[in-house]
Chain A
């Protein structure tokens, strides 16, 4: 099974304001991008499972020109809460890399 880290040339995560995290998936070719552009493997459920977010609020925007998909989800706790481990959410993408994407 191909993994996200294998089909993307670059994956990154970053805070988008204090209440959201945005993840950019840059695919390694137009062909792979097309294959996963609307794939359910990158749906809200995946983000609910890995990040504890509300699957219904997950936003997904494919950017055809750049062969990338942007997926944003609300943080389960706002930035800076007492259990904060990643203030800028810059390391959140790592747990996605090993996910089987089918």
Chain B
């Protein structure tokens, strides 16, 4: 058996999950605390699910899921007397996402009968401030995007800057029990406490990168999160579940995930270089990593911004008619032509719109040509998507197309078919199309220049009441 406490000076962080709200196990947290954990840290966001969450400033996770996880994490952190850090609150880390999470935390604290001191660190940016930075030449594009213009900045609904660990460290040093952060790199929120307590920078950042998705770096990702054990020149990764393992392969392979370069990763204030890292078993559950390097660089923060565009309405039909299924490409082209000309005739040629038909069961996922000789499917779903400048227009265009979409025969002269609508009304307003428009970095004085911290001291509030 391993010595649970590890070597002296090792900083231990519980990473209970890859995303707050995905579910945490109380037993896992207690195991980490029994090992002497110094903090619990987790990410609560991502850009993975698309630009809609940032543009609208709403969470992808539902309130109940966040509440359930916070209840466990806040209760256990309070009992152990260790801080809880949450990065990128509310999926996209807008100010609204931080406030939403803070309000849930206050509610949970009330129910648990605890009075933590909560620090909220915000990194949403005022558009005017960014326009000024851009004019000062402090914003640089990352490929494949080009230089930034004022109009692109102005078109964004929300812009957030990705924080480093500094605001978290400052908040904990000032006595925060809970730090709720706006947009932060996944790594920074996990590296903050090790860096604060004097762990090696290479080891801290590399450990955080490995642990960013919780159990994803373990052999069995379904079995809970991990415990980061960070020293001066090395770190070890241990699963929180006693039956799980962090193997040299599962730990090293995680750096491949969702990164375009698995060896050099740019973070606020430096670059993590893992090209010389060495991964070895410690025992049959944990892996030790040495050779990670941190190269300090002038401070930069990545920007994310999203804007709203046109609106979409969708309709769906199922087809089992073998004659149509045997000629799906012909059916698609004929339908595409008929719907497009129907919209143009009804709304005029000047109107901006797009009609797209996706044949699921045939080539709906890729939209690419199907090789000649491919046998017909037994069933196909056709999704109609119309995109137009307003939701109302998109709905009206879908209604205009409805009879054709429903009844169009494969060829002229065939008796009118009726395809299988699963819903009524058939047209479903899908909402606005959103777009990420920034892939830029801004140079700042330090990790604080674009960040604001606000405090909610529940003990003080309770004292006043």
Contact = CB atoms under 8 A, between A and B. Distances in A.
15 contacts: A16-B259, A59-B261, A68-B256, A70-B261, A70-B262, A78-B51, A78-B435, A79-B50, A80-B52, A82-B310, A82-B356, A85-B364, A85-B366, A85-B367, A86-B365
B328 to A, nearest CB: 16
Contacts, number: 96
B327 interface: no
Nearest to B279: A65
A61 B387 contact: no
A43 B367 CA distance: 23
A29 to B, nearest CB: 15
Interface residues of A, number: 33
Nearest to A19: B439
Given A82-B387, A83-B354, A95-B366, 9 more contacts: A15-B48, A16-B260, A19-B145, A54-B144, A74-B143, A82-B309, A83-B356, A85-B364, A87-B50
A8 to B, nearest CB: 14
B369 to A, nearest CB: 11
Contact of B365 (A18, A83, A85): A85
Task: Among A17, A65, A68, find the residue whose CB has the most chain B CB atoms closer than 10 A.
Answer: A17
Chain B facing A: main interface SS? loop
A63 interface: yes
Interface in B257-312: 257-263, 309-310, 312
A87 B356 CA distance: 16
Given A61-B263, A82-B387, A87-B49, A70 B435 contact: no
The size bracket of the interface on B is 35 or more
B365 A70 contact: no
Contacts of A24: 256
A14 B367 contact: no
Interface string A50-72: 00001001010101011010101
Interface string B24-61: 00000000000000000000000111111000000000
B400 interface: no
A65 B258 CA distance: 19
Interface of B: 47-52, 143-145, 249, 252-253, 256-263, 309-310, 312, 354, 356, 358, 364-368, 385, 387, 433-437, 439
B365 A61 contact: no
Task: Among A18, A22, A88, A91, find the residue whose CB has the most chain B CB atoms closer than 10 A.
Answer: A18
Contacts of A66: 249, 252-253, 256
Interface in A10-37: 14-20, 22, 24
Contacts of B48: 15, 88
Nearest to A59: B260
B436 A18 contact: yes
Contacts of B437: 78
Contacts of B52: 80
Given A18-B51, A19-B145, A85-B365, A79 B436 contact: yes
Contacts of A17: 47, 258, 260, 439
Contacts of B143: 57, 74
A61 B368 CA distance: 28
B187 to A, nearest CB: 14
B366 A80 contact: no
A18 B262 CA distance: 17
